[in-house]
Chains A and B, each alone.
Chain A
Amino acid sequence: MEFLMCIVVGILFASAVYLMLSKSLLRIIIGTGLLSHGAHLLLLTMSGLKTGAAPILNDNISSYTDPLPQALVLTAIVISFGVTAFFLVLAYRTYQELGTDNMEEMRGTESHD
């Protein structure tokens, strides 16, 4: 199971890198979304995908899944959600001000300022 998940994470990372190297700003932001999905999935995978009950305390169950990475992923998700929301608004403002979403046209030369 871990092996399969590692391949999925690899595909996510590869697509993220491909998208982030493209010219359109929106594709880049979609790439960052895939990148954080990959990182979160990796965090869950690396701590082991052993079968066990959900980590809710119950008298009849003796084996649980590891609760720690779930807490870590929850934290990382809200952080990347906040950053992505900021990034989207930033991209919108940049599009309004500069009139382009093409990264090639956003080079900083002195004549642009």
Chain B
Amino acid sequence: MINLPLLPILIPLLAGVILMFFPKRIKAQRTISIISTVATIAAAVVLIAEIRQNGIQTLNLGSWPAPFGIPLVSDMLSALLVLTTGIVTLAVIWYSIYYLEDEYERYFYYIAVQFLMVGLNGAFTTGDIFNMFVFFEVFLISSYLLIVLGGKKAQLRESVKYVLINVISSALFVSAVAYLYGVVGTLNMADISVKIAELNDPGIITVIAIFFLLVFGLKGAIFPLYFWLPGSYHAPPIPVLALFGALLTKVGVYAIMRTYTLFFYHDTGYTHMILGVLALLSIVIGSIGALAYRDVKMIIIYNIIIAVGVILYGVAVMTPDGLEGAVFYLLHDMIIKTALFLLVGIMMAIAGSSHLKSMGGMIKDYPLIGWTYFVATLSLAGIPPLSGFIGKLLIVRGGFGAGEMIGPLIILGSSLIVLYSAMKIFTNGFWGTPKEYTGAKAHLASRLWIPAAVLMVIAISYGVGAEAVRPFITQAVEPLIDPAIYIEAVLKE
């Protein structure tokens, strides 16, 4: 099947278009979006099997040869991310069926989710830098709809800021592409890499590298550019927040990973040093935020910033260990953050508030939810048999291997803070004296628990079965370490 890399983009696109014809028929909306997401996951699994066997899959759209048309390039990294996106989206749709009011579902919610998936899968798969911009816009416009859907005051107020920040970062993306096109004269990512290597003029390339860091850092919420994230992510309802927290920042991280290993690997002393320092500062800022708040949403939101910092530190050290750890941790974090947001959403549905002072003693009535949350916390912090361990281990080993001391120590220290901040929710919310709960959806708790538990099962088997997952991750890291593999797959002559 030569069109295989296209399927994870095409299936949700078609589903989104079909869903537009009957937005008020909720049952049909739910059924079709679940079918489409399952089909996307199946396509991603077949794609991964194909890549495992035959290496990187490329598809030149319209049969134009490589540097002239738009290629879709599925290497193992992008295929794994497409699969994880599918799993996360499926869990969130499943959860939304019970969690959201009918009003949301009637006003294009599932359509926006499908288009969000189109944009994400496209951004992960594309091999053309301007096409990546277009796919960024596809998922950003869907996210504008999702963040404001419902039209509450807080949502309107925060979405103005969210839209403004993303309009600015999109204009900067266009300018960065303009500078890059002015220097190398091509848009194909493999060809750009070749031209930059031939150019041998690091000055302007370094400037463009920092420009791209600015653009993708604004999407991915790294240290000085994270300021919009806590407010914006606090506004929308939990399923939307889970989608955003798990997926949107991770596209920025993926884009930094891709550009910094494929384009800008010549002057690593400067660019990767800046990336490393910013990543560590993100960890520190995220840790401070996670410690400061007693609002369950805010604690997990600041944990997103910590995770982005940890992953990017793995990219910045540029050792095979560090990169492998970054990929391991990226996939783990997408799944575990969704699970945590969904579980915290159940707590909010029971208590009717997101503040810890209105929770307590939930373990008595909801033991399954409590213990699932407990395991999720341990997994988030990286306790050995669970999924967060191996990624962080490799990143720390990569950091020490590159001869750095401060970075790995900050990461190890941040794990304690992550554990403390998430355990704070457990001890205050699930232990202590039970309170009177006024939440309207408390009776749905056990149904809401199932998708979160499914994600936790995936996360646990990802950690326990790390040995089985490892060959895939190793294959995903190969083109990151040696860009020649990627270039040859795209520009094969």
Stretch at the interface among B11-19, B146-154, B413-421: B146-154
Q: List which B134-159 residues lie within 8 A (CB) of chain A.
A: 134, 137, 140-141, 144, 148, 151, 153-154, 156-159
Given contacts A43-B174, A76-B174, A98-B153, contact A35 B168 (CB under 8 A): yes
What 1/0 flags go to B274-312 for Cβ under 8 Å of A?
Answer: 000000000000000000000000000000000000000
Contact A79 B160 (CB under 8 A): no
What 1/0 flags go to B156-186 for Cβ under 8 Å of A?
Answer: 1111110110011011101101110110010
CA distance A113 to B234 in the complex (A): 12
Given contacts A39-B174, A40-B174, A108-B231, contact A69 B160 (CB under 8 A): no
What 1/0 flags go to A13-47 for Cβ under 8 Å of B?
Answer: 00000001000010010001001101110110111
Is the CB of A63 closer than 8 A to any CB of chain B? no
> Contacts of A69 on B, CB cut-off 8 Å?
178, 181
| B218 CB → nearest A CB, Å | 14
Most buried by A among B134, B159, B174, B182: B174
Q: Nearest B residue to A41 by beta-carbon distance?
A: B178
Contact B167 A42 (CB under 8 A): no
> Contacts of A79 on B, CB cut-off 8 Å?
134, 137, 170
What 1/0 flags go to A88-106 for Cβ under 8 Å of B?
Answer: 0011011001100001001
> Contacts of B179 on A, CB cut-off 8 Å?
46
> Contacts of B437 on A, CB cut-off 8 Å?
none
Contact B164 A32 (CB under 8 A): yes
Contact B137 A46 (CB under 8 A): no
| A12 CB → nearest B CB, Å | 11
Contact B144 A86 (CB under 8 A): yes
Which of B130, B140, B144, B158 contacts A72, CB < 8 Å? B130
> Contacts of B231 on A, CB cut-off 8 Å?
108
CA distance A37 to B130 in the complex (A): 17
Contact B175 A39 (CB under 8 A): yes
Contact B160 A113 (CB under 8 A): no
Given contacts A35-B171, A83-B170, A97-B151, contact A28 B164 (CB under 8 A): yes
A-side interface size class:
35 or more
Contact A97 B156 (CB under 8 A): yes
CA distance A48 to B182 in the complex (A): 8
Contact B137 A93 (CB under 8 A): no
CA distance A46 to B187 in the complex (A): 13
> Contacts of B171 on A, CB cut-off 8 Å?
32, 35-36, 38-39, 80
Given contacts A20-B164, A39-B174, A83-B167, contact A90 B141 (CB under 8 A): no
B-side interface size class:
35 or more
CA distance A36 to B177 in the complex (A): 13
Is the CB of A53 closer than 8 A to any CB of chain B? no
| A42 CB → nearest B CB, Å | 5
> Contacts of B182 on A, CB cut-off 8 Å?
46-48
Given contacts A35-B168, A38-B171, A39-B178, contact A86 B157 (CB under 8 A): no
CA distance A31 to B492 in the complex (A): 45
CA distance A12 to B140 in the complex (A): 25
CA distance A47 to B157 in the complex (A): 39
| A39 CB → nearest B CB, Å | 4
CA distance A36 to B154 in the complex (A): 28
Is the CB of A64 closer than 8 A to any CB of chain B? no
Which of A46, A72, A84, A97 contacts B153, CB < 8 Å? A97
Given contacts A42-B178, A80-B170, A83-B137, contact A93 B151 (CB under 8 A): yes
| B484 CB → nearest A CB, Å | 26
CA distance A80 to B141 in the complex (A): 10
> Contacts of B175 on A, CB cut-off 8 Å?
38-39, 42-43
| A78 CB → nearest B CB, Å | 10
> Contacts of A42 on B, CB cut-off 8 Å?
174-175, 178
CA distance A82 to B133 in the complex (A): 15
> Contacts of B133 on A, CB cut-off 8 Å?
76
Q: Nearest B residue to A35 by beta-carbon distance?
A: B171
| A26 CB → nearest B CB, Å | 12
Nearest 6 A/B pairs, CB to CB? A46-B182, A43-B178, A39-B174, A46-B178, A39-B171, A94-B156
A-B contact pairs, 27 of them (CB 8 A): A32-B164, A35-B168, A42-B174, A43-B178, A46-B182, A47-B181, A47-B182, A68-B187, A72-B130, A72-B177, A75-B130, A80-B167, A80-B170, A80-B171, A83-B144, A83-B170, A86-B144, A87-B163, A87-B164, A90-B148, A90-B156, A90-B159, A91-B160, A94-B156, A94-B157, A94-B160, A97-B151
